[in-house]
Amino acid sequence: MTASIDKFTDFIDAMDDEEAIEKLTPPTLQREVVVDSKTGLPRQAGATLPEGEFIKRLKLRCEGDLHVFAKAIIGRDYLTKSLHLPICHFLQEVPPFRKLLLLPRDHAKTSIVAHCLPAHIVIQPADRNIYFPRINFAGTENRILLAGETEGMASRNLRVVQSIFEGNQLFRAFWPHCCWEKSRRQSKKWNNLEMIVPRETEWPDSTVRAIGVGGAITGARPTVLIKDDLISIEAANSEVVMQTAIDWHIASRALMEEYEKDSGMEALEFIIGTRWAVWDLYQYILDNDPTVEHRVMSIIMDEHPIWPERFNQERVEQLKNEFGSMFWLLYMNSAANPDLTDFDIDKIRSYELQGEQLIFESTEDDALLEKKWEKQPLEQGVRLPEGTRWNKHTWDALIGRGRGEYFRVKYG
């Protein structure tokens, strides 16, 4: 699809072409879609009637594809086919019902998950709801809990979602049944922490509610739980704050709405974030929760930047220099860097226990240590009591002052 499309049929056909979708942006649509000033409904430029073939096709395409919706309707035209299209498809695939997505900092994770995803969930028609495909469930009937590290951060994300329903002309034209004419007057709840869209059922919970980690959620029955960046540097520097985030994450599971077992459906959970510590909330989920389908992405994968349009190789090198050891957490989503741990995982070797001897393949390091030990009398060795915690300090003591024979290891 070129920047200007002359033929109506060409434009419709282009919507099924992934390359063309990359150019399906609001400026392009504004040339093709006119919002009628009297009815508020969309029609193709040059057409006299709303809801023509072009409009129907485009609406269906947006409802069925989060990536197209985010680019064409919400205006996130910086999202790319190579990086963000697979991410969007992972998010909208059901099952699995619980998903963890770890992305590097500044790679549009909040834009997709905390801003575009709630609106996309709400517009789903009951008969072809991609998020709840096994039950007749309209998107407007959802109760979405939008969680953040703090209430203030969650509230800022909610405000972006509200602005879509209040001020996005394309969104309001295509899905007028999801929007109020005057939200703050007509909606029973439309404030910094909650919003309710027009819906058939009077649920106790709001359509979207913003909440921070630790916030009271007793009695809530969300159908969708979106957890965006529940931890940051504060949690990384405090074991108590990190444990609070883990405990809140676990407790929130008990509140999620349950569906009839014969439907095969469950409430949905989306966990999105970036690593901040070696033993953080995300490591806990990866280690302890097999019910969560996860995707972990680094700024460099297969030796190439995953978003070269924003982060080329030169920029990546600059980030390495700026963030030091934290680069591995914030941009590689990895805790394996030696600077972050007491041990270099690449130095770990497997061994066999034969009697009282450890048998393993030797390396150059062993030869260097042997020479070092030969220069030191055996009686200078460090004697460590059985059960001593093996960490960087005890390791340095062993290889720097004495011989390994004096380090007793308890097996069993």
Q: Of 228, 257, 238, give the one whose Cα is nearest residue 151.
A: 228
The partner residues of 43 in beta bridges, in order of sequence, read 34
pLDDT (tens digit, 9 = 90+) per residue, 77-109?
Answer: 899 999 999 999 999 999 999 999 999 999 999
Per-residue confidence of the chain (412 residues) as pLDDT tens digits?
333 333 334 444 555 555 555 555 656 665 677 777 777 778 777 666 666 787 888 899 999 999 999 998 999 989 999 999 999 999 999 999 999 999 999 999 999 999 999 999 999 999 999 999 988 899 999 999 999 999 999 999 999 999 999 999 999 999 999 999 999 999 999 999 999 999 999 999 999 999 999 887 766 789 999 999 999 888 888 889 999 999 999 988 877 776 655 667 788 999 999 999 888 999 999 999 999 999 999 999 999 999 999 999 999 999 999 998 889 999 999 877 656 555 455 566 777 888 777 787 777 767 766 666 565 554 455 566 666 766 666 666 665 544 444 444 433 3
First to last CA, the chain: 66
pTM: 0.77
Domains and CATH numbers, the chain: 1-64 (no CATH), 79-297 (3.40.50), 345-406 (no CATH)
Question: Helix 281-288 vs helix 239-253: angle between axes, to the nearest 10 degrees?
Answer: 50
DSSP secondary structure string for all residues of 211-272: EETT---TT---SEEEEE----HHHHT-HHHHHHHHHHHHHHHTTS----GGGT---EEEEE
**Interstrand relation of 194-195 and 208-212 (parallel, antiparallel or unpaired):** antiparallel
Element (H, E) at 33: strand 33-35
Q: What is the pLDDT of residue 8?
A: 39
> What pLDDT was estimated at residue 401?
45
Residues 6+ apart with CB under 8 A from 128: 63, 64
According to the model, what pLDDT value does residue 357 have?
74
Q: Residue 5 has what pLDDT?
A: 34
Task: Please give the pLDDT value at position 15.
Answer: 52
Residue-level pLDDT at 65: 95
pLDDT in tens, 170-188: 999 999 999 999 999 999 9
User: What is d(CA 8, CA 224) in angstroms, rounded to the nearest whole number?
Assistant: 38
Instruction: Tokens for 209, please give them.
Output: 């509610």
